[in-house]
Amino acid sequence: MTTPLLGDPASMSALGASLRRTAGHLAADGEALAGAVTGATPGWPGPRSVRLRRRTSTTAEQTTAVASALDEVGRSLQTAATDLAAAIARLRELEDAAATMGLEVREGAVTRGWGITGVADAAAAREEDGRRHRLQEQVHQTITALGRHRARLAKDLARGQGLLARAADELRR
């Protein structure tokens, strides 16, 4: 492939799946902790028990929030992996199409191959230029879509980072 390394969809998807599994475990732990606090509340009087129950309830709530954030990030990574795999496949198709026309796709630009190509015919040269421009437009559309997908992933990851930071702040109190 003459395009630069675009990423590894399989690794992104595996990371997303791992985060989502961890989120499931955390959500179950948060529910178990909340249930334990509720079960221990009757007959557990005193100011110390109230503080401990409050702190434990906060921990259960934040565990659930962290699980939700991890699940969202994992889902975003898996969606981005699918988008990336589709973009890589499309770019490979376009490179193959370019090669059959005697053209090359290098770093997002469709250019003529090295050496003598074509014939000395003005009409044929215009036709070739038209094909090259159409192919260039398809390459540009694919790369632009990939950029939009990456921007969406970056936004989702930043949102997840914010959720995790807020949960950490709550737990430090």
Interatomic CA distance for residues 167 and 62, integer angstroms: 5
7: region left, alpha or beta (phi > 0 left; psi from -120 to 50 alpha): left
The number of angstroms, rounded, from the C-alpha of 76 to the middle of its chain's C-alpha atoms is 5
pLDDT at residue 112 in the model: 80
pLDDT at residue 115 in the model: 63
pLDDT at residue 1 in the model: 45
Interatomic CA distance for residues 124 and 96, integer angstroms: 21
pLDDT of the chain, 173 residues: tens digit per residue: 455 567 899 999 999 999 999 999 999 999 999 888 888 777 777 788 888 888 888 999 999 999 999 999 999 999 999 999 999 999 999 999 988 888 888 888 888 877 666 666 788 778 888 888 999 999 999 999 999 999 999 999 999 999 999 999 988 88
pLDDT at residue 159 in the model: 95
List the domains of the chain with CATH numbers: 9-172 (1.20.1260)
Closest CA to 41 of 54, 60, 26, 59: 54
